[in-house]
């Protein structure tokens, strides 16, 4: 017989929560509208193991909790109360009386909704009953392994993609009406939302969270977010949530010293404090914290139908010294700097997510050299299925920022990534981190004249698309945002009134659709035998060329990173036949100078680049060209 706690709580659920094995704890923790012995009301449950007393306060009792004392459930550390007559929309907090007698007002860690900032209370919200229409999407997704399918992510900060006025944000509904069709038209397969978990400070971009289970009320209500995701799925677009399990902010109403003691962050201040960010790290060895975080990952997929998570700052989680001054250094039990508790947490996180959602995307934002991040845990890996390729991003942007006249001396920055491109399942990120804090926008990183900047950005995007690995581009990059990203202002949409910016957007649209249609660019991303250099060593001319093989066909890429053009550039090809140009970054419609008079090239039996066959092409300066092999019959 299952022992029950007050008001329908199951002792078995609380036991698993305390053991770190409750992966759906949001179903019983927090505020739930329910029927208890024939009375409709709200049951509240909160974990505060070291509190002397916990009271419920809110607009329903004039913020006086003297008559709303919560009951402690034996030794679980969980406090519970049921208030009949309450319902959705009630504003509340927990008044926690610490062991020393201090009174703390805390938001609900499991709240499904919070007041709009600067207010900080929690709001009762019923998440059931949304009429999902995405069964076809879910069924299709389960039949399409992510490794062998295109992944082209549009990274979006909801607070600045568009604004209606100063701090007048688009709602989730308005994003469904505007952002979703735009992303579909542009050819993106996924939208990644920068953290929309409730956060008090706009300029944290959502990375310093107080409400892990609450979609930010800046943009509307939880069911409006469900509507946004449902609309994405109807258009064939997946949705990824930027997720931050590494640390949380120190705001008084949040998780910090929640019951007067450090239960979420742990007692060791050196381990907990992250001064560079002004945050506190989660205590990954605490069972209840593990239940809280893994349940949160499951929650976004279970309740909101998110298709995956991009896990922020993995390197900072696994390295005890990263982002810390020497006086805060700690070591593990073996004298090393690896956070063993964080590593165990990440393995269990991925094992659990893939148990419930085998088709989920679990993407590590990891700048470390930790091996096997995307290998299964049973093979000793961390169990993610994708990892951001930060090394490629740093090298390539450094190369592209170099004047073309000097690039011959830095050719290794272009080619080095292929030495490790197949060691993990990589995503190639051109993210928000690269266009803030004085780093300049992608367009403005490009050297040279105004026209050369655009030519080189088109080249950059072409090489990015053709390079092995999945793709991510931050909003605004698609038309050449000239200024850095300004998180308080909307993107500079007015730039589309200028010819080269409009043509850049057209180029990216065409490039995106070429990517999703050309199977060789994604079908065998993780297969080293599906990539072959044509010419890797041409540093003198700053030209590079290679082949990408799909299961049935192949494509040929040639990229010229110099200011020199070649009217009869000979390119070795692996098979005799017809090669069709499917993209040329120098076309007039994209802002270049080519009218694209020649679209197909028959190979000749002229040995070149180690192949018996070759084609002769016009190779413009600062250009990217992509060819598809059509057939073995020349004509």
HSE, side-chain direction, 13 A CA sphere, residue 414: 29
- Per DSSP bridges, beta strands 361-364 and 308-311 are parallel
Return the SS3 of 176: helix
The active-site residue out of 312, 366, 523, 587 is 312
What is the number of alpha carbons within 13 Å of residue 202 lying toward its C-beta? Answer: 16
167 catalytic? Reply is no
Give CA 327 to chain center in angstroms. 32
| Of the candidates 104, 86, 108, 9, the residue with the CA atom closest to the CA atom of residue 40 | 86
Exposed/middle/buried for 67, CB within 10 Å: 0-12, 13-18, 19+?
exposed
**Contact criterion met (CB below 8 Å) for 303 and 261:** no
Sign of torsion over alpha carbons 485, 486, 489, 494: negative
H or E element that contains 141: helix 135-142
631 pairs with which residues across the strands? 578
| Residue 192 is a catalytic residue | no
Q: Give the E-state strand segments of 432-481 in sequence order.
A: 470-474
The answer to whether the beta carbons of residues 572 and 614 sit under 8 Å apart is yes
322 close to 316: Cβ distance less than 8 angstroms: yes
3-state secondary structure of 409: helix
Coil, helix or strand at residue 397 = helix
Distance, CA of 621 to CA of 623 (rounded, Å): 5
Cβ contact 425:362 at 8 Å: no
- Burial of residue 490, with CB atoms counted within 10 A of its CB: 0-12 exposed, 13-18 middle, 19 or more buried: middle
Which residues, in sequence order, are CB contacts of 62 under 8 Å at separation 6+? none
| DSSP one-letter string for 283-299 | -TT-HHHHHHHHHHHHH
* Candidates 365, 434, 525, 587; catalytic one: 365
Using DSSP's 3-state secondary structure scheme, residue 162 falls into: coil
Which residues is 105 bridged to in the sheet? 95
Which SS3 state, helix, strand or coil, does residue 45 take?
strand
> Are 51 and 79 within 8 A, CB to CB?
yes
What are the φ and ψ backbone dihedral angles of 304, each rounded to 5 degrees?
A: -105, -5
- Annotated active-site positions, please? 312, 365
């Amino acid at each position: 017989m299952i022992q029950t706690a007050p008001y329908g709580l199951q002792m078995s659920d609380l036991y698993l929560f305390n053991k770190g094995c409750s992966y759906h704890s949001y179903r019983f923790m927090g505020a739930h509208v329910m029927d208890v012995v024939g009375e409709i009301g709200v049951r509240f449950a909160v974990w505060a193991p070291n509190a002397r007393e916990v009271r419920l306060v809110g607009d329903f009792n004039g913020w006086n909790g003297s008559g709303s004392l919560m009951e402690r459930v034996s030794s679980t550390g969980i406090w519970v109360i049921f208030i009949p007559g309450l319902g959705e929309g009630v504003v509340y907090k927990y008044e926690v009386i610490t062991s020393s007698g201090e009174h703390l007002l805390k938001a609900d860690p499991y709240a499904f909704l919070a007041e709009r900032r600067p207010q900080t209370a929690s709001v009762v919200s019923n998440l059931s009953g949304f009429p999902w229409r995405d069964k076809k999407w879910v069924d299709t997704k389960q039949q399409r392994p992510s490794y062998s399918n295109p992944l082209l992510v549009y990274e979006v900060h909801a607070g600045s993609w568009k604004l209606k006025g100063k701090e007048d944000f688009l709602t989730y509904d308005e994003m469904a009406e505007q952002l979703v069709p735009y992303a579909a038209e542009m050819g993106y397969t996924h939208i990644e939302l920068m953290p929309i978990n409730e956060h008090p400070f706009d300029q944290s971009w959502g990375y310093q969270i107080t409400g892990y289970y609450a979609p930010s009320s800046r943009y509307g209500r939880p069911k409006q977010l469900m509507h946004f995701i449902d609309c994405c799925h109807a258009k064939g677009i997946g949705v990824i949530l930027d997720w931050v399990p590494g640390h949380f902010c120190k705001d008084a109403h949040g998780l910090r010293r929640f019951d007067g003691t450090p239960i979420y962050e742990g007692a060791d201040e050196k381990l907990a404090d992250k001064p560079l960010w002004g945050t506190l790290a989660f205590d990954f060895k605490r069972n209840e914290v593990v239940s809280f975080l893994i349940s949160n990952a499951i929650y976004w997929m279970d309740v909101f139908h998110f298709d995956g998570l991009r896990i922020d700052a993995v390197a900072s989680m696994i390295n005890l010294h990263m982002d810390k001054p020497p006086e805060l250094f700690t070591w593990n039990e073996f004298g090393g700097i690896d956070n063993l508790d964080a590593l165990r947490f990440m393995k269990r996180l991925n094992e659990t997510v893939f148990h419930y959602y085998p088709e989920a995307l679990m993407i590590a934002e990891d700048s470390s050299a930790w091996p096997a991040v995307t290998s299964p845990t049973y093979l000793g890996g961390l169990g993610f299925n994708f990892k951001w390729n930060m090394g490629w991003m740093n090298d390539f942007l450094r190369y592209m920022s170099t004047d073309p006249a000097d690039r011959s001396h830095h050719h290794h920055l272009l080619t080095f990534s292929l030495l490790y491109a197949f060691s993990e399942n990589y995503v190639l990120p051109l993210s928000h981190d690269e266009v803030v804090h004085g780093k300049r926008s992608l367009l403005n990183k490009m050297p040279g004249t105004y026209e050369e900047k655009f030519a080189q950005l088109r080249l950059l995007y072409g090489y990015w698309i053709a390079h092995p690995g999945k793709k991510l581009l931050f909003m605004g990059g698609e038309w050449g945002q000239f200024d850095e990203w300004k998180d308080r202002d909307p993107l500079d949409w007015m730039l589309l009134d200028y010819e080269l910016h409009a043509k850049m957007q057209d180029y990216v649209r065409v490039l995106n659709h070429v990517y999703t249609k050309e199977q060789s660019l994604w079908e065998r991303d993780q297969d080293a035998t599906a990539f072959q250099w044509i010419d890797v060593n041409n540093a003198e001319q700053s030209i590079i060329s290679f082949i990408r093989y799909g299961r049935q066909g192949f494509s040929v890429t040639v990229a010229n990173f110099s200011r020199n053009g070649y009217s009869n550039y000979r390119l070795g090809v692996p098979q005799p036949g017809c090669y069709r140009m499917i993209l040329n970054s120098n076309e007039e419609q994209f802002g270049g100078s080519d009218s694209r008079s020649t679209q197909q090239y028959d190979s000749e039996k002229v040995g070149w680049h180690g192949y018996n066959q070759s084609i002769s092409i016009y190779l413009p300066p600062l250009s990217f060209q992509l060819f598809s092999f059509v057939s073995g019959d020349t004509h």
